[in-house]
Chain A
Amino acid sequence: MEVLRVENLCKRYRKGGAYAVEGVSFTCEEGEIVGLVGHNGAGKSTTVKCLEGMLPYDDGRVEICGFDMKKRPLAAKARFGFVTDDHAAFTRMTGRGYLSFLGDVYGVPTAERRTRYEELERVLCLGRAIDNLISSYSHGMRQKVCMMGSLLHRPALWVLDEPMTGLDPAAMRSVKAFMRKYASEGHAILFSSHDLAAVAELCDRAILLKKGRQVDVLSLSSHTDGERKLLEERYFDEA
């Protein structure tokens, strides 16, 4: 079943200016991990921000679990969790307070919060820092608390912008394992990354963007060396 549908997405930052994203279309099915790859300025983050509802888009359509982002924004937003590239969070809250806030916003029952927090803590290992102010967190710790918050309501779609940046190798390995497990449970994952190895290792498909346009869709479902080499070749061909 289709969890995310993006059709002909177009975004300009200034009226009359160049398109930051133009004609991007792709889908994301249940149990699938899709990667958005491209060089700096290719439009990965803009695409992600548009489909999250953070940025308005000029044309096109975004549907999450069948809910149109423009017509039914609240229903659509309730069905995905997101992690931004700059790990933005309310820094005057503690990690626990932030998770509690997100639990309220996504309507997670109190009893379930604890179970999910414990499950996520095993993966991300934030430890006692959960009771510290987020303003005191390191880059990686912020990344972790944002990931925890984005998964608290077990969203059908998990959207991550550059998720591996700032994580230590152990956390990176845990996150990768968790992503595979989460997808295998029937959830969809979309993430943007420069890390071609991680994309080849995790993704079933990769959307290749260049200067705001979608230039290729590569199947990576077998996770073979051949697929990885093809991804690298196509990526560097477009450089």
Chain B
Amino acid sequence: MKHKLFFSLIEKEVTERFRGVGAAALAVRVLLVGGLAAAFVWFYTRFAAVYTEIGEDGAARTFELLSLSLAALFLLMTAGSAASAVRSVRLAEDLPLFAALPVSRGMLLAAKLVCIYCGQLFVSAIALPVFAHVLSLRGLFSVAAILLLPALAVACGMLLAFPFHAVLRFLRGKFLLSFLFGTALFALGLYGYSLLLGGVKEVLLGGDLKYFFGEKVLSRLALAVKYAYPANLFARALLGQSAPLPALFCISLFALPLGGLLARGLLSGAFRVPSAPEPRLRAGGGRRPVFFALLAKEFVTIFRTPAYAFSYFSVAVVMPLMVYFCMSVGGSLLERLLGVDCSFELALLLTLLYSALTNVFCASNISREGKMFLVSKAMPVSAGQVFAAKVLLSMLVVAFALLASSAALYFAGYLSLGAALTVLLFGLAFSFAQVCFSIKYDFSHPRFPVGTEEAGEGDAVSLVWLALALAIGGGSLALRLLTLFRFGAPSLPYAGFAAGGCCFLAALLSALYLFLHLRRRYDAFAGGDR
């Protein structure tokens, strides 16, 4: 009976985790993860080949590389465990219900911990075989490491969960601060991404990577590896250099019960401490025209939901950086590999691609509002005003991002002023098309969130627009390269302008799709419960 209950709890946790994710969306996610994993394997293999050739001590390089890789994996899994612990142990919505059900806290906690562990096990089961394959590792310990490393990461994650939860509590209701914090973290991550892209470029060009890892850098890495516990112990065991199994056994014996105790403390705290009082906010009281009231309502709804603010405004804020980093890597790659300057077409591709990413959030513009969208129909506001406010807010956000991207490309010298303005114009047209289409599609196929859950992001529509961005921008770049190599035409602007034509056509068609018969459709709208 107890076993049945335990498995029911695990089943509930897993179901909750994938609630609202359709088969198509799941397939897309699997494909994306697969693509990313393939790219990582390719890069890691190339990088390992270069790195292990540095200096004369290949074994030491292999040990360093494996230790650092395992350390990075361990940190990633620890952070993931901490986030999962806070989400599913401390802040879970089901806790008040379980408080009244005949389910022991121990069993509830065990079910939640098993789910967290399985999530990290999945990561470790993908990453460790890659390391083992690339660095030609053998031995039974590889299997043990796959099982043990996530367990230690979960234990450490429990320790991190406390400060993580404290930060979340502190940021609760401080919307501007959370936005800035989230954006800064995202930008930091992006900086790391740019470093990775730089590394990819060097690997591709076979350039100066060896010179980067000079004596000074190598000695610093060796020092870092010396203290990178427990990754260096795992690396040693995996490489068969020595057998630090007693040390690993001692660490596990200490860390795993401690992790369990911490998790218990985390759960007890959730049952004991009442939720923090809601902060008091002041709202402006001046009279505004209806349209601006609707616009402000749209903004407030997004900005005061941290997950929405992050996935919309933060992405928009860092979009220029993404365009700039990719342009710096892609531009020099094209120039050095093919000896051609395709800055305009590349800038267009990157701008369209990243603006499509920024606009992903528009795909749930109606569903996000839930039942209030239906209730708004009883207010004396026209369909045109309601939809124009949604389109305008989305366009303001993406226009800011596009303007900053174009300015960055112009000031960095990648584009002339005219080319930067053209890219901006094409980007705006493309974004307008995406915003109008996404809003209308969501209006025609609304999925109102149930209870306190948040609306999905309309994966399918967003993917279509990402594919369109790739087709228009990539097509323009391909056409430019084709004309250059096939016909030797040094400067053929038609490719770029054809792409621009596509953007404007898409904008026109999408605007018609949204605004044609809007009032009739708005009056006939009857809801979108899941």
Contacts and interface: CB of A to CB of B under 8 A. Distances in A.
B290 A107 contact: yes
B375 interface: yes
Contacts of B293: 101, 104-105
Contact of B280 (A93, A100, A105, A132): A132
A131 B281 contact: yes
Contacts of A82: 378
A77 B283 CA distance: 26
A55 B526 contact: yes
B263 to A, nearest CB: 28
Given A88-B372, A133-B278, A93 B283 contact: yes
Contacts of B289: 104
A84 B375 contact: yes
A53 interface: yes
B173 interface: yes
A93 B286 contact: no
The residue in B284, B285, B372, B380 that gathers the most chain A C-beta atoms within 10 A of its C-beta is B380
Given A106-B380, A131-B280, A96 B374 contact: no
Contact of A100 (B278, B284, B375, B523): B284
Interface string B279-307: 11111111111101110110011001100
Contacts of A132: 278-281
A195 B466 CA distance: 54
Chain A, interface residues (CB within 8 Å), range: 35 or more
Contact of B281 (A75, A86, A94): A94
A230 interface: no
B377 interface: yes
Contact of B380 (A13, A105, A135): A105
Nearest to A96: B283
B371 A88 contact: yes
Contact of A52 (B173, B378, B526): B378
Given A54-B378, A74-B380, A86 B523 contact: no
B382 interface: yes
Nearest to A104: B293
A100 B284 CA distance: 8
Contacts of A13: 526
Contact of A104 (B287, B304, B525): B287
Contacts of B337: none
B140 interface: no
A132 B371 CA distance: 21
Given A53-B377, A56-B524, A110 B287 contact: yes
Contacts of A97: 281, 283, 300
B526 A56 contact: yes
Contacts of B523: 53, 56, 70, 73
B290 A92 contact: no
B305 A92 contact: yes
Contact of B371 (A70, A86, A96): A86
Contacts of A212: none
Given A74-B382, A92-B301, A54 B281 contact: no
Contacts of B516: none
The residue in A77, A101, A102, A114 that gathers the most chain B C-beta atoms within 10 A of its C-beta is A101
Nearest to B370: A88
A70 B523 CA distance: 8
B217 interface: no
A77 B381 CA distance: 8
Contacts of A92: 300-301, 304-305
A222 interface: no
Nearest to A74: B380
B379 interface: yes
A54 B523 CA distance: 8
The residue in B305, B370, B375, B381 that gathers the most chain A C-beta atoms within 10 A of its C-beta is B375
A224 B278 CA distance: 46
B287 A109 contact: yes
Contacts of A133: 173, 278, 281, 304
Given A56-B526, A90-B297, A90-B372, 6 more contacts: A73-B380, A88-B370, A93-B283, A105-B293, A105-B380, A133-B278
Interface of B: 173, 278-290, 292-294, 296-297, 300-301, 304-305, 370-372, 374-375, 377-382, 523-527
Interface of A: 13, 52-56, 70, 73-75, 77-78, 82, 84, 86, 88-90, 92-94, 96-97, 100-110, 113-114, 128, 131-133, 135-136
In the A-B complex, the 10 residue pairs with the smallest Cβ-Cβ separation, listed nearest first, are A104-B293, A97-B283, A136-B278, A77-B380, A78-B380, A92-B304, A52-B378, A131-B280, A132-B278, A88-B375
